Structure formats: C-alpha cells, structure tokens
Structure 1
Amino acid sequence: MSPDLALGTYRCRDIPQAAVHAVACGASWIDTAPNYQHGHAQTRLRPVLAGNPDLRVSTKVGFFTPDIATAAREAGVLTPAEAASGHCLSHRYVAWQSRRNVAELGRVPDIVFVHNPERADHAQDAITNAFTALEADARAGRIGGYGVATWTGFEGAFSVADLLDIATRCGGPDHHLAAIQLPVSLVMLKPVAQAMEGTGPLAAATEVGLDTFVSAPLHGGELPGMVTAELAQLIDPGTTPAEAALRVIASTPGVKHVLLGSGHAQHWEAAQRILALPPLPDKTLHEVIDVLGA
C-alpha cells in the first residue's frame, strides 16, 4: 500500500497556502507544533482545520518559544531554569501545553507527539512523565492519542519496544500510544536499510500497529541539490532528483505518511504522482543503500 502525503509545517513559509495545495492533492494529515513559525503555526492552521473538518492533525509538546515560556512561567508550570532551556517534558508542563494546543488549533488534535525526548537528560523518564499526562488527556477525550517525534532518539535513547512498555505502564493494555515520527531520507538512510531487513523503528512500529510519519524526506529541501544525475537514473530513470529521493522513501516498507512542507502546487502534484507509483524493486533499494551507505 502506498504511503499518504501529509503537510509538515516545520520551516513551511506560508502554512495556509501550503495547506490549500495539500488538501487539493488529497493530503489527509497536517503535522505541526506549538513552536513552529515562531509560535504562530497552530493559530494559522485554525481556519484551515475549521474549513476542512475531515483533515486530521498532529501536534507536539516539548519545545516552546520565549513567548510560550513567559506564559508558562506565569501559569506556574515552568521554573526559571526550565523556561531558559527551551524544552520541557514535565507532567505539569505537558498537561498545560496540551490544553493550549487545543485552544490554538480550535479542535482536539488526533495525535500529540512528545517532541525530541532524547534532548532530556533521562529520556525514558521524560517520556514517562509526558505519556502519563497525555494518557490522562486521551482518556478524557482532549486528544485522540499520542506518540513520539524524534530526530535521533531511535539511535540508542529508546526503541519502539521501550515506548510500548512505557505506554503500558502509564495507561495499561488499552493505552493510547498511536504513532512515531522520524526523519527518513537519502541522507538519513539507516531506517531504510533497517526496514529492508525487517528491523529498526519502522518495522517494529508496523508490527505492533503504530502509525508511522516520515519527516524531512528531502532533508529540509537540500536533497534535490545533492542527488546526482547518475543516482537519480539508478533510482528511477527520467525522474528529477527530488522525485527520485521521494521514490525511495515511498518505497520503504513501513512508511505510512510522508510529510512535505512545500508551498508550491507543482511540488505537491509531483509528490502525489510519485507516491501513487508502485514501490521500487527491492534490488533497486539495496543498490541505493550500497551506493550511499546507511
């Protein structure tokens, strides 16, 4: 089954316009965070979500802007030291930020991701604190479910099995852990190599029924300038570098949603076409891994 296109609002310059293109191309998810666009991403999404009630939305807890830090300190949920750090996963802060997310989005988020918990000194303790707060929100109907969005966390700070264990301790067998999000691209190729062998976070998440969101598939827009004509030819003759890069991600086992942050209609249309194609042969993916290394 081909993965879905989704709008990722990190570094997205014009969120409302990007959302229009995303919806036109059949995207069913928008991913955001309270600290994106200097703290304005969620409020800029509110009219989009109101006008498209079938759109699903994921947001995050963890990072915050100086303005959010000031509000949180005034609310008594951040200490001065926590406010200065720019990131917090304490139970009281996560519960406060989760309620704030709902107010800014104008609706209950379908998933709230714990944002880069590997940043904490004791990542699994931080995840436990956050999951405890988010489990309470899920049971009260204030969020649909929760997950972890990470950049390097699956490199040793925690595993999918660890997340399941923590969620079970926080919420029992009927916990609301729903998804993971991680970067996968021709630069961040290790998850592809692992998935091809049936290992790693994508395979583990798929095995236990968790949703998977892939961030930075074009490595922040840098990949089209990095992919050579020879590599694009190896991946899929006749495609552009950006299309070739997306072709690999769309063909990776376990990838369910690919986050694209472009504000250009032609980029969405091209991505829609690429994701609708059949997966590349395993032989091609193994050749790409051999050429680039994992």
Structure 2
Amino acid sequence: MRTADRRVVLGLHRSRHRRDILTEALGLGVTTIDTASNYLHHRSHRTLSEVAGALLPKFSISTKVGYFSDGHSLSPARLREAVETVVADLGREPDTVLLHNPEHSGPDAQALMKACAVLADAVKQGWCGSWGISTWDPRPLIGLDALRPDVLMVRSGLLVSSSVLDAAEALVTAWRPTRVHGMSPFGGSATDPVWQKIDPRVFLRSSDATPVQAAFRVAFALPEVEAVAVGTDDAEHLRELCGGLEHEIDTHALQAYRQLLRQSA
C-alpha cells in the first residue's frame, strides 16, 4: 500500500468537537470525519454542524446509526428514521452511513440482511453516498450473509486480539467490501500505560519514527486497511500521526507477531 493510499480520519468519539481541530485537520490534509449518532450524548451531528459552519462542506462525513437513547436496535424502521435524522441534523447528506456494531443485538442472517437493506436503500434515495458496517467485535458476524458493503470498519492495531483480527479478515473475504477502514489504533489513548511498556518501532524498517507514529502506522497493517480513524483534540498529536504515514512496515516482524498472537490465543 502506497503512502498516498493511507488516510488519517478524524474520529469524534470522546471529542469535544472543537473548530480549531477541524481547521488543523484540513491544514494537514485530513478531510474525512468519523462520527456516530450516539456520540456526544446523541448530539454529535447537530454540534458538528454548528461548530464547523462553513468548514463542513470541505469534509467527507462518515457516520454510524444503530444506537438509540434506549439502547441498540436493528429495527429497519428505526434505522431509516435515524438516517433521515442524520441528514436533518447535519444539514447535508453524509458521505457514508455505517451500521453501528450490529453484533450488539446478536442478529441472525435475516435481521442483518434487513438492516443492511435499509442503508443500501438510503444510498438509492440520495440520503448518503455509500453505506457499510462498523463492528467492534466481528466474531459474532462470521457466517452471516450481508449485502456487499461499500465500507467495512474494524478495530485495528497492536492491541487487537488474534481472534478479532482473524474474524475481521474473514469478513473482508466473505463480504468483499470496496474499502476497509480501521479504528481505535491505540485501544483508547496513546498515553495509556501500555504504550510505555512496548516499543512499536520494532515493526518498522526505519528507526526515526516516534513510538506513537509507529503504533499508528502498524494499525494500517493489523489488519490491512486503507484509512484509520483516530480521535484527538490535540493538534500536535494529529500532526505527529500524519507525519508518520511514510514509514514502511517490516513484514517479517509483523508476520512473526501474528504467529505469536495465534500461538498464545
């Protein structure tokens, strides 16, 4: 995967939706935002529209539906209404709408297919440009048929377990999405104590990256994804991440790591 093919996506999970971060992101060439209907206590879309103002058309917006104030639901009627609400709150059609963690409702094949059909129809109706599935734990979805999604979003990075990585790759093979995106590359925060105990630079061919850059770069390879959503309200952190995309992976080290993960599972 070439450097130009790797993209940083500004995630709004746990974000305060600040305009200065949006401005900084654009300056760094980060032009995609990832959010969800339940972020910021179910106020993310409306807040983003208000804060971004004239900046909003400069971004591609990827969002998710499935969580409601009373819990998770794959009800086709509720999902359809949720997509319509996204459009109203943003004041524009999102570029992508993802089905948010469908495994949370323990769907069978029929329930998943009906939920996917709602989002596929939303594309036909012009409510969004593409649709897909975002899954925190893809293991319960193995073996379930789904309409071919435009996007599959999965957890990526060094803190993802072997079984989750294998399941994500199995879904890619089964569903053949057009694009695969990663999320949560630091498993919560780049300042968590775990990142003081390991040095991700062992997975790179060069040694001039920072540990944070190395961990982020590896997230594009565990599993193989073309974009990674990362949440931050720190402009310096965002600059550091964008500055590490050119580093190349030591494929032998990565393969050895995957083998060790499977052996210890």
- TM-score normalized by the length of structure 2: 0.84
1:282 is aligned to 251
Name whichever of 47-56 and 91-100 sits farther off. Answer: 47-56
| Change in CA separation of 1:222 and 1:265 when aligned onto 2, cut-off 3 Å | closer
Say which of 229, 233, 237 aligns to 1:263. 233
The one-letter code matched in structure 1 to 2:140 is G
CA RMSD of aligned residues (A): 2.8
The one-letter code matched in structure 2 to 1:276 is E
1:181 is aligned to 153
Deviation at 1:268, TM superposition (A): 1.0
Supply the distance in 2 between the matched residues of 1:94 and 1:233 (Cα, whole angstroms).
42
State the identity as a percent.
27
Do the aligned partners of 1:6 and 1:22 also contact (CA within 8 Å) in 2?
no
The one-letter code matched in structure 1 to 2:233 is G
1:156 is aligned to 140
The one-letter code matched in structure 2 to 1:234 is V
Supply the distance in 1 between the matched residues of 2:56 and 2:163 (Cα, whole angstroms).
33
What SS does the aligned partner of 2:243 have? helix
1:102 is aligned to 87
Deviations 1:188-221 (A, max 9, x none): 04389659xx95345666xx35211211001110
Q: Are residues 1:216 and 2:217 paired?
A: no
Supply the distance in 1 between the matched residues of 2:53 and 2:250 (Cα, whole angstroms).
37
2:68 is aligned to 64
Deviation at 1:223, TM superposition (A): 6.3
Determine which structure has the larger helix proportion and give its number: 1
Supply the distance in 2 between the matched residues of 1:222 and 1:231 (Cα, whole angstroms).
12
Q: Are residues 1:10 and 2:13 paired?
A: yes
Runs of 4+ in 1 over 4 A off after TM superposition: 191-195, 202-205, 290-294
Deviation at 1:155, TM superposition (A): 1.2
The one-letter code matched in structure 2 to 1:212 is V
Supply the distance in 2 between the matched residues of 1:35 and 1:229 (Cα, whole angstroms).
33
Supply the distance in 2 between the matched residues of 1:117 and 1:107 (Cα, whole angstroms).
25
Deviations 1:148-185 (A, max 9, x none): 11111x213236xx4xx5326xxxxxxxx310111112
Q: Are residues 1:25 and 2:5 paired?
A: no
| Change in CA separation of 1:193 and 1:150 when aligned onto 2, cut-off 3 Å | closer
Do the aligned partners of 2:13 and 2:39 also contact (CA within 8 Å) in 1?
yes
| Change in CA separation of 1:223 and 1:183 when aligned onto 2, cut-off 3 Å | farther
1:166 is aligned to 146
Do the aligned partners of 2:123 and 2:130 also contact (CA within 8 Å) in 1?
yes
The one-letter code matched in structure 1 to 2:118 is A
What SS does the aligned partner of 1:250 have? coil
| Change in CA separation of 1:230 and 1:199 when aligned onto 2, cut-off 3 Å | closer
| Change in CA separation of 1:52 and 1:179 when aligned onto 2, cut-off 3 Å | same
| Change in CA separation of 1:202 and 1:241 when aligned onto 2, cut-off 3 Å | farther
Q: Which runs of 5+ in 2 are unaligned?
A: none
Say which of 40, 57, 62 aligns to 1:37. 40
The aligned runs of 1:195-210 (5 Å cut-off) are 199-202=169-172, 208-210=176-178
The one-letter code matched in structure 2 to 1:60 is K
2:217 is aligned to 247
Q: Which runs of 5+ in 1 are unaligned?
A: 66-83, 169-176
Supply the distance in 2 between the matched residues of 1:289 and 1:223 (Cα, whole angstroms).
24
